Amino acid sequence: MALLTWSKKYSVGVKALDDQHAAFIGVLNELHAAMMKGQAGRVAGPLLEKLTGYVREHFDTEERLFASTHYPAQAEHRALHQDLTRQVGEYAARFRQDDGSVYLELLRFMRDWLRKHMVEEDQKYTQWLNGHGIR
């Protein structure tokens, strides 16, 4: 069973961003599946690196779109990105220190963060970007 399943309620109406959100969910589900099989220790490092890369790429994409359209709330949204980047960095540091509890905590944190962020925060820019021809 998947930890989180992509659905239209998460869509922001911009294909590139939706694809990136779906990729986040895919990585979280990979880590969840590995944990369920008792293989988290073996695959967590590469998956954490993959997740970190997706986060960085996604935030860069969003922020470029914000800048190009002069999105009025870009500073506030960027602050949310910086906070998540910091928190994921803390999980990565714990992983490097062989903290075995990091897997479950990271999964819960990312699942909850993604749900809240995609449904509440990202929906705030949908109309703005779509109104500027970005789909």
On whether residue 4 sits in a domain, the answer given is no
Number of structural domains found in the chain = 1
Burial of 1 (0-12, 13-18, 19+ CB in 10 A): exposed
On whether residue 3 sits in a domain, the answer given is no
| pLDDT for position 80 | 94
**Residue 77 predicted with pLDDT over 80:** yes
Name the band, by pLDDT with cuts 50, 70 and 90, for residue 112: very high
- Highest mean pLDDT pick, 48-52, 71-75, 102-106, 117-121: 71-75
Mean pLDDT, the chain, as a whole number? 90
pTM of the model: 0.89
- Tell me what the mean pLDDT of segment 99-106 comes to: 80
Domain that holds residue 121: 13-131
Distance separating alpha carbons of residues 23 and 17, to the nearest angstrom: 10
CATH code (residue 106): 1.20.120.50
